Structure 1
Amino acid sequence: MTADTATARLVEVFSAIQGEGLNVGTRQLFIRFAFCDLRCYFCDSAHTWTAPATCQIERSPGLRDFETHPNPVSLPTLLDWVQRQNQPGLHDSISLTGGEPLLHAAFLAEFLPQVRQQTGLPIYLESGGHRPEQLAMILPYLDAVGMDVKLPSVSGETLWQTHAEFLQRCHDASVEVFVKAIASQATKLEDLEQTAELVAAVDPAIPVFLQPVTPLDAAHSLGHDFSPPTPDQVLTWQTLMKRYLKQVRVVPQTHKMLGQL
């Protein structure tokens, strides 16, 4: 694959406030990739599971004045779109999100060195944390990684081994990394304890964010209960996890609180 032939299937490119994790509140330029190979029960972005025929691109950063373009998108075209969004001093970083961006690892290995040189912005990857081999292809070009831990009792996925390898690769590469876990009333204590043990085995100083699930309507819940956890549950979970870890923070999805969907 070369820069002339590399393409990716996108959902959208836009400028917004980061609502989750270590970078919450910062302004990021988001590149949302299509496709995901997981089917988490709580997913509120099921539209990213497959690739749409078209993608949405903001004309002006933050104004939601989207225009429609066909998929797939060439590497030079995406560079042009990023440059159009990249007003001086506006963005703190570029967020690669999805879907699962690592399903486009070969494209990213070509794209990231060029976009870093073009913009000078740090590169932040949001990932399900289950594709360590694809992660290795782009680690040299990343500045920060937000890794989801998929709790089996909430997500329906069981990925402990690949999560551990993924997190270890991030730590060994000395990129800034944090872990995020979605929690609901149905979350099992043993899932959170296993998460704490997994992270502590790599480095107990890695920050962990417990994120209360955003309630889904009946059409999206697939028959599962996604009621947010109670305050007592959250306090119990944080107490347990802090036996293993230095930083366990409880932070909701602030972008949804702001109505920035």
Structure 2
Amino acid sequence: MKIVSYNLNGIRARLPRLIEYLTEQQPDVVCLQEIKCDDDSVPAADIAAAGYHGIWHGQKGFNGVGILTREGQPQLRRIGLPGDPDDSHSRYIEAEVAGVVVGSIYLPNGNPVGTEKFSYKLAWMDRLRAHALELLAIERPVVLAGDWNVIPTDSHDDVFSVRAMAHDALMQPESRAAFRRILNQGWTDAIRARYPEGAVYTFWDYQAGAWQRDAGFRIDHLLLSPHAADRLLDAGVDKDYRGREKASDHAPTWVELEGD
């Protein structure tokens, strides 16, 4: 089972790239982020024509997440994180697919640091941590896949330039500590399990020739519960899709698990 995290940066703007990816790679599950439209505006017919079923938690112009499956309809488990019934952001959707629980995450960016946006990011991560612990308690294969908006370390393996990103919310000690608190519950970072060393980037900004200079960083993560980690076969980044015409600034990032 190949499970992909793909921040599209607008599903309608990137629809040709999404259909191209689905057709060429035929992944089993795709967790989408930043679809940037409400549910009624999702190009569901085009996606169905490519052979995929989908569920959505959209939001007009901003945020928005979804889960696509190639075999059978994903069974919706949850829309939104528990803990704040007034949260209006569409950032989390969870489904069961062939016995695996999959969560698609678009974690808040948090910039500028020192504002309510950064506070919201940290509070959202606290809510995610509480829910992640509940998911571990079910003792089943679980994959939390998405744009986590956290660069885990200062290593060149995770970021092209510490200096360039030093004041960004993605690299603040509080953001990283919140991410580690989730990891330390017992989750496995699929990419680092497969590639303990070496630069593995998932995002390249549109500005300043970042793609051409390979000035990227790693913010798209797939965390595996122990039962999922036991089935880990491979993980990686389909980097070349970032270089295609009118591509998203994220590359599809994936894990392959043993089983259907």
TM score, norm. by length of structure 1: 0.38
TM score, norm. by length of structure 2: 0.38
Kindly name which structure, 1 or 2, has the bigger radius of gyration based on alpha carbons. Answer: 1
More helix by share: 1
